[in-house]
Structure 1
Amino acid sequence: MGNKVGVFTDEQIEAFQDCTFFTKKEILRIFNRFRDLAPNTVPKVMTRVDTNRIRLPYQQIQAITELRENPFCQRICQVFSEDGSGDLSFEDFLDLFSVLSEVAPMELKAVYAFKIYDFDGDNYLGKEDLQSTLKCLTRNELSEEEIQFVVEKVLEETDLDDDGKLSYIEFEHVISRSPDFMTTFHIRI
C-alpha cells in the first residue's frame, strides 16, 4: 500500500493547531489559498524550513479577496510579516488568518488592531497615527482641516491622561465599548 505524502507532517499540523484557532482541514484550506497565489514558488509539500523561508511579496498577498479592498491592506501585511516588509511566509499568512478569524478573542484582535494603527511603531497612537488612520479609512476624502478636527475630537474623548496620544490601555478601553469591533475586525476562510 502506498503512503500518501501530505503537505505537512503531523508534527507541523499539530504545531499550527497549537498556535492558531484552526482545525487541520482549515489549515490545509489556508495553505491552498497561499499556494494559489504563487503555485510556481510554493511547493506542494512544505518542510518545516519552507514554512518560514518561502515568502510571498506584498503585491501578491494584496490580491486575496479579503484584503484587496481593505484600506489597511498594506499595514496589515506589514504587521503580520516577521520583518515588517509586508512580504509573508506561510506561517505569517496563517497567523493573519488566525488573528482575524471569527473565533479569535477580542483581546488578541485589539492587540493587532493597535499595531495596525500604530504607523510609527512607538507603541502609542499619536496625532500622526490617527491622521494616517483617518486617511486610510476615508481614502483621503477629508481635507486637512477636517482630519485635524476629527483627531482633536478623538483625543478629547479618549485620551484619559491628556498626554496627546493613546496608550494601548486607552485604546483597549475604547474598543471594549465598540459593539462593531468584533464583527468588523475579522475575515472568513
Structure 2
Amino acid sequence: MGCVISKKSERTPRYEEPSVLAATTPFTAREVEALYVLFKKLSNSIIADGLIHKEEFQLALFRNRNRRNLFADRIFDLFDMRRNGVIEFGGFVRSLGIFHPDAPIEDKIAFPFRLYDLRNTGYIELTELKEMVLALLHESDLVLAQDIVETIVDKAFREANTKDDGRINPEEWKDFVLKNPSLIRNMTLPYLKDLTMAFPSFIVSSEYEDPEV
C-alpha cells in the first residue's frame, strides 16, 4: 500500500513545512512530502522519536546498526546540521538537496571538502585525505594495496595543493575538482530529480500544488 501524507499527520520534532524547505532546496513541496515518508521510516527504525540517530543511519546504510565506518560517521555529521547528535527533518532534506541534479555545482564541490576536512580546520591535510580514501575503499569492491593507495593519494594531494603549504584550502579544492569533475560524480543522484516517480509507493495527498502541475 502507498503512504498517504495529510496535514493532520503526526509531525516529527522540529518539523519544517514542505513549502519552506522547497523554497531553499531543489525539491518541490510534494517531493519534500515524499521525503518525509522516508524520513519517518528511518527515524523510527530503532528509536521511535522522529529523529535519525547514528545507529539508525548506520542501519539504513549497512543494514547493521553496529557497523562503524569513518565515511558513514562523516556523512552523519554533515547531515546533523544543528550539531545535536541527531538528524532532523530539515537537515535531512537540505543535505539530500545537495545531491539533486539541479543543485548548484558550488554546493557539490563544497560538500566533499567538508567531508575530507576531518578536524574541521577549514583545510584538508594529507593524513585526512588518506584516512577518507581508505574508508571509502573499505566500503567498495575495489581492493588496492596500501602502497598503491598512498601513491595515488600523494599524487592527487600534490596536484591540488598548488601553494605547496601542506594543506588544501577551499579555492585549491575547487580548482582541483573543476579540472577533475569525476571527483564529484557521486554527488549527483539522478533519482532525486523526481521523487514521486522514483518511489511510486508514495501517494501524496497534499494541500501543496506545484506551479508546473
* TM-score calculated relative to the size of structure 1: 0.77
Name the % identity.
21
**Equivalent residues of 1:106, 1:182 under 8 A apart:** no
CA distance 1:72–1:102, shift in 2 (3 Å): farther
For residue 41 of structure 1, what is the amino acid of its counterpart? A
What amino acid is aligned across from residue 33 of structure 1 in structure 2?
A: L
Matched, 1:77 2:83: no
C-alpha displacement of 1:124 = 0.7
1:18 positional shift: 1.3
Matched, 1:186 2:188: yes
Residue type at the aligned position of 2:51: R
Describe the superposition over 1:30-74 as per-residue Cα deviations: whole angstroms up to 9, x where unpaired.
Answer: 0000111217735xxxxxxxxxxx53201212333xx44998332
Task: Name the counterpart of 1:47.
Answer: none
Q: TM-score, normalised by structure 2?
A: 0.69
**What CA deviation, in whole Å up to 9, does each residue of 1:148-175 have, x standing for no partner?**
3333212222211100111111111111
2:37 is aligned to 32
> Where do 1:37-186 residues align within 5 Å?
37=42, 38=44, 41=48, 54-64=50-60, 67-68=61-62, 72-84=71-83, 87-139=86-138, 141-142=143-144, 144-186=146-188
Q: Name which of structure 1's ranges 136-145 and 111-120 shifts more when overlaid on structure 2.
A: 136-145
Deviation at 1:12, TM superposition (A): 2.2
Q: Return the structure number with greater relative CO, CA threshold 8 A, min gap 6.
A: 2
How far does residue 144 in structure 1 lie from its aligned partner after superposition? 4.8
Count of aligned pairs: 171
Letter in 2 for 1:99: I
Structure 2 Cα separation of the partners of residues 96 and 68 of structure 1: 19
Local SS of the residue matching 1:56: coil
Letter matched to residue 52 of structure 2: L
Q: Is the 8 A contact 2:26 2:97 kept in 1?
A: yes
The answer to whether the Cα contact below 8 Å between 1:74 and 1:86 also exists between their aligned partners in 2 is no
Root-mean-square deviation over aligned CA pairs: 2.8
- CA separation of 1:104 and 1:181: change in aligned 2, threshold 3 A: farther
